[in-house]
Amino acid sequence: MRKLLVTCALPYSNGAIHLGHMLEHIQADIWVRYQRMRGHEVYFICADDAHGTPIMLKAKKLGISPEVMISKMNQEHRKDFSDFNISYDNYHSTHSNENYNLLHLIYIRLKKNNLITMRTVSQLYDPEEKMFLPDRFVQGNCPKCKSKNQYGDNCEICGAIYNPNELILPKSAISGAIPVMRNSKHLFFKLPEFYSMLKTWNYSNALQKQVTNKMKEWFKSGLKDWNISRDEPYFGFKIPGIKKKYFYVWLDAPIGYMGTFKNLCNKRNNLNFDEFWNKSSNTELYHFIGKDVVYFHSLFWPAILEGSNFRKPTNLFVHGHITINGVKMSKSRGTFITARNYLKHLDADCLRYYYATKLSSSIKDMDFNTEDFVNRVNGDIVNKIVNLASRTAGFISKQFNNKLSNKLSNPILYQTFINSEKYISFLYEKRKFSCVIREVILLANLANRYVAVQAPWLIAKEKNRNSDLHDVCSTVINLFRILVIYLKPVLPKLAERSEVFLNNELHWAKFSEPLLNHRIRIFSMLFQRINLKQVNNVFAFSKKNN
């Protein structure tokens, strides 16, 4: 049995969860649910990223304290993920005692290992707001490709990494003022000390090829010391022994993975924190993240862990971004869809399934196409899978008192479904969910052809063929059961309703044994068909309320 700790990137506490976030959390949840079905010990955690200048500024604008704002947002995020059936073992916050204690422990270890240095730097300062400007609050033209309106840390167009003072025509994103240069003392983490370790880790063939290629570019341009401090005013954890300085949010945010797991360990006496974070740990640690935060997770995070004598991640699972009908999500176009808005109009399993049809192990962007969404949900889930049960369960109910036959009418077909398990398991393990869906739908097509050929509605009209009718319908119900088992990680609510109908828990380990002489329940609606009007209502509502 494997022991796995799985995390998603931490959503920021200054906004609602949207469909872009949900891609990552659904992807991770599908993988986690599959691993649990295979009998592995899995702990799935996440938290809100609750520190930084944006939190401070938004709370000020709302007229409330940052603590009140992040607490309220944490409750909203928890509910959104819960209602999308994201099966977290613990959802926490980086603004926690566990995170504070671990951050200080790591800082002390890094200092002891001579990996922290202090030096004076020139920074951009907003003379109107009277504050130093964080990278994301400076905008200007990229120094490499000259693209306009780029942030102060990296270019979204060419991917270049730079310092804010390298921007061309910089301006404050807070006040619009032209920033001035001022000196300030800051703490730096000696990232170049880990050049060899990072190169070995990144080239170990564990990471995705696209990620490794990006790493090569960063290694070629050279690693630089990383500024881990920020001047006040700032919302975060104060640096001990240094006045008016705070730890940079990107130092304490990934430590939030550890803090959240520590919080879970405090809740469960049988969980050992060191077993999962000790440098000699035999457990597995996976981070599901978007391509926009690869830089922090593939360079700074493993180096910080190595420097403070903790284990490194087993792997990073990186995904691309979401577009809506071919374009970026936009509030003005009404395509910036929050999770809560979606759930007011549509079932969570619909989005989980549609994302699964698109998800692979690559980091390519993925498009949410409204017409394709409706067609895939109705065509696959309703027409090809649920209809197998709806077309045959009535005969079992009316003519055989809800009891399945004692034998299968086509054991060879049933074995074909069973034989697909090895390949589908491989695809799940490799996160090739679109291929999982393809294989399941191929099987569903076989089952539907079998129903069409056997035509139980015609058999029912013939005398002396009750036994044939019983066997055929029972076989189809068993084929339906296998398909739902294969899709249980993707469609947890459909699986729950199917378990009630089948009067049977859907376990991966037991599905090779057919349900024979088994009493099922009367069939009721397992999945609602959707229409384009419902989807359009989501967009109309979003446009109106943004």
The side-by-side arrangement of strands in the sheet containing 131-132 is: 131-132, 116-126, 180-189, 226-227
Query: Residues near 509 by Cβ (< 8 Å), separated by ≥ 6?
Result: 39
pLDDT at 163: 83
- What is the distance between the alpha carbons of residues 384 and 456, in angstroms, rounded to a whole number? 17
Say yes or no to pLDDT of 529 above 70: yes
Query: Using CA atoms, how far apart are residues 277 and 319, in angstroms rounded to an integer?
Result: 25
Mean pLDDT within 473-489: 98
Short-list 246, 254, 346, 376, CA closest to 303: 254
Q: Which residues contact 91 (CB under 8 A, 6 or more apart)?
A: 45, 46, 47, 74, 77, 78, 81, 260
Over residues 187-193, mean pLDDT? 97
Scanning the structure block, which residue is given the tokens 């049960």?
389
Q: Residue 28's closest CA among 75, 73, 85?
A: 85
Distance CA 201, CA 192 (A): 14
Answer whether residue 546 shows pLDDT above 70. no
The rounded distance, in Å, linking the Cα atoms of 150 and 156 is 7
Q: Does residue 30 come out as left (phi exceeding 0), alpha (psi in the -120 to 50 range) or beta?
A: alpha
**Residues carrying CATH 3.40.50.620, the chain:** 3-115+190-319
82-110 pLDDT tens trace: 999 999 999 999 999 999 999 999 999 99
Cα angle 106-108-113, degrees, rounded to a multiple of 5: 95
CB atoms within 10 A of CB 288: 25
Residue 403 in this model has a pLDDT that exceeds 80: yes
> Which helix (H) or strand (E) element contains residue 26?
helix 19-37
CATH 1.10.730.10 residue spans of the chain: 381-510
Segment 305-332, tens digit of pLDDT: 999 999 999 999 999 999 999 988 877 7
In degrees rounded to 5, what are phi and psi of residue 162? Answer: -155, 175
- Which numeric CATH code is attached to 381-510? 1.10.730.10
SS3 284: strand
Give the other-Cβ count within 10 Å of 181's Cβ. 10
CB 247 within 8 A of CB 103: yes
Instruction: Look at residue 328 in the predicted model and tell me its pLDDT.
Output: 87
343-360 pLDDT per residue, tens: 999 999 999 999 999 999
pLDDT (0 to 100) of residue 31: 98
For 1-59, write each residue's pLDDT tens digit.
999 999 999 999 999 999 999 999 999 999 999 999 999 999 999 999 999 999 998 99
- CATH 1.10.8.10 assigned to domain 3-115+190-319? The reply is no
pLDDT attached to residue 15: 93
